[in-house]
Amino acid sequence: MTRRWLSVVGIGEDGFEALTPRAKMLVENADTIVGGERHLGMLPENGSLKLTWTRPLSDVMQRIGENRDTPVCVLATGDPMFFGIGVTLGRYFQPDEMEIVPSISAFSLAAARLGWSLAEVEKLSLHGRPLTLIVPFLAPNQKLLILSDGANTPAQIARLLEERGYGASRLTVLEHMGGPREKVLSMAAAEWDEQDTVPFNTIGIKCVAGEDATILSRGSGLPDEVFTNDGNITKREVRAVTLSRLSPIPGQHLWDIGAGCGSVSIEWMRFHSLCKATAIEIRSDRIEMIARNAIYLGVPQLGMLEADAINVIPDLDPPDAIFIGGGISKPGIFELCWDSLNSNGRLVANVVTLQGEATLAALHQKYGGYLTRMNVSRAQPVGSFTGWKPQMAVTQFSLVKN
């Protein structure tokens, strides 16, 4: 095995003296210690070289690598592998080069303070991430624990909760947990009035939905009206069937070709925080709609390309699923997508025209899979009565690459 020259030690607000004997030894024997100023200030002087984090992180990673012939210790807050620096180090160095000694995570401490079952709580990090990432997790009686990005994060979350109809939610801010400066602030989000909070804090939210809250499931088939659109949208009922065929799986990547307003790729990403998607749309006005919808519905990390799909597909990473919402009749597009799709990947194409149906019929005959026609009618007023108004029939072709 490679010598474990790089140690990653989790440290809490109770400082160096609270570390385990093994963690203390790794810190004391290190020739180089890397950490934030707060962490480095907790240590006794041992003559080692001290490095603080700078941007970009790659510069610090390079300096760490230059010292691989000597013991290097990286200090982290709590558990280095729970949204921590240990995950980043794992992208630069091999597991058998590192020894990781975690401390108690902020999530564990917060759950203990609040009396919450950690297994039943959604655990999120906003450190260096967009605030709207919490949106998919807002639901009645849902409990959230959030690693803050700074002193302003609680106030920003309080405003977001009010805007989404969750102003009655209980917002609890826990500062410097586990140390002598520990402090807890708790009140309804609507009552939060720029309270003074320190940059290092963890936030607990007990969601309470008001009468004006829009309750949105993370399952497929969101109401059409929650998407800004120009009429080019995969309708709710068809979208639910489409997502069922695409089968979102955590960590997998979707191409949404002819994305329109982005409804399919957005619902794919809302399914799980590890799902990834790239929406490809040739019209700039629709790209703007996709961006607005992605932010509003809590998936701001959705990838977007303003381009003709056939021109950019060769440069993209292979996907695990592909949805073709427009352009299936374009020569070569299906073959290019099919060749790019990973093994066991799913491909779904929807059409509403006779020409599109002819293309799908030919593909079905050649490749197999499933060919389905969906007819949906919605009840609407007819004078003083109510009648059925049919939508355009949608023909769907789906198959799995195996």
CATH number at residue 265: 3.40.50.150
Q: Where are the beta strands (DSSP E) in 93-133?
A: 98-101, 122-125
CA distances from 243 to 1, 227, 254, 273, 331 (A): 45, 16, 11, 16, 25
Tell me, what's the pLDDT at 9? 97
* Residues 93 and 191 reside in one and the same domain: no
Q: Is residue 194 very low, low, confident or very high in pLDDT (cuts 50, 70, 90)?
A: confident
* Residues 373 and 244 reside in one and the same domain: yes
CA distances from 234 to 86, 224, 227, 243, 400 (A): 41, 8, 11, 11, 21
CA distances from 370 to 221, 283, 350 (A): 21, 30, 12
The CA distance from 50 to 57, in Å, is 16
Q: Is residue 295 part of a domain?
A: yes
Domain containing residue 34: CATH number = 3.40.1010.10
Tell me, what's the pLDDT at 19? 95
The CA distance from 10 to 154, in Å, is 25
* Residues 321 and 247 reside in one and the same domain: yes
* Residues 199 and 140 reside in one and the same domain: yes
Domain containing residue 185: CATH number = 3.30.950.10
* Residues 119 and 94 reside in one and the same domain: no
* Residues 271 and 230 reside in one and the same domain: yes
* Residues 171 and 234 reside in one and the same domain: no
Percent of the chain at pLDDT > 90 equals 94
How far does the chain reach from its first CA to its final CA, in angstroms? 37
Helices (H) and strands (E) in the chain, counts: 12, 19
- Nearest-5° Cα angle at 159, 156 to 162: 150
Predicted confidence (pLDDT) per residue in 97-135, tens digit: 999 999 999 999 999 999 999 999 999 999 999 999 999
Predicted confidence (pLDDT) per residue in 38-90, tens digit: 999 999 988 899 999 998 999 999 999 999 989 999 999 999 999 999 999 99
In which domain, by residue range, is 260 found? 224-400
Q: Is residue 2 very low, low, confident or very high in pLDDT (cuts 50, 70, 90)?
A: low
Predicted confidence (pLDDT) per residue in 16-41, tens digit: 999 999 999 999 999 999 999 999 99
Cβ contact 93:6 at 8 Å: yes
Tokens for 367, please give them: 């490749």
The CA distance from 384 to 364, in Å, is 45
* Residues 342 and 245 reside in one and the same domain: yes
Q: Is residue 372 part of a domain?
A: yes
Tell me, what's the pLDDT at 193? 85
Q: Is residue 215 part of a domain?
A: no
DSSP states of 15-43: -GGGS-HHHHHHHHT-SEEE--HHHHTTS
- Nearest-5° Cα angle at 188, 184 to 193: 80
Q: Is residue 49 part of a domain?
A: yes
* Final residue before a domain boundary, out of 153, 173, 206: 206
How many other CB atoms are found less than 10 A from the CB of residue 383? 6
59: left (phi over 0), alpha (psi -120 to 50) or beta: alpha
* Residues 115 and 91 reside in one and the same domain: no
> Of all helices (H) and strands (E), which one includes residue 348?
strand 346-351
Tell me, what's the pLDDT at 175? 96
Cβ contact 386:359 at 8 Å: no
User: pLDDT at residue 1 above 50?
Assistant: no
How many other CB atoms are found less than 10 A from the CB of residue 69? 9
Residue among 392, 76, 344 at smallest CA distance from 234: 392
* Final residue before a domain boundary, out of 58, 78, 104: 104
The CA distance from 300 to 130, in Å, is 7
What is this structure's pTM?
0.92
* Residues 189 and 231 reside in one and the same domain: no
- Nearest-5° Cα angle at 43, 38 to 44: 145
* Residues 63 and 140 reside in one and the same domain: no
Tell me, what's the pLDDT at 402? 87
Domain count for the chain? 3
Q: Is residue 134 part of a domain?
A: yes
Q: Is residue 342 part of a domain?
A: yes
Residue 329 main-chain phi, psi, to 5 deg:
-80, -10
Q: Is residue 219 part of a domain?
A: no
Q: What average pLDDT does the structure give for the chain?
A: 95
The CA distance from 240 to 396, in Å, is 12
User: pLDDT at residue 298 above 50?
Assistant: yes
Burial label for 19, CB within 10 Å (0-12, 13-18, 19+), is buried
User: pLDDT at residue 162 above 70?
Assistant: yes
User: pLDDT at residue 315 above 70?
Assistant: yes
Tell me, what's the pLDDT at 280? 97
Q: Is residue 362 very low, low, confident or very high in pLDDT (cuts 50, 70, 90)?
A: very high
Q: Is residue 213 part of a domain?
A: no
Mean pLDDT score, 240-246: 98
* Residues 391 and 364 reside in one and the same domain: yes
Residue 108 main-chain phi, psi, to 5 deg:
-65, -45
CA distances from 117 to 108, 109, 121, 136, 189 (A): 9, 11, 7, 20, 22
* Final residue before a domain boundary, out of 178, 206, 234: 206
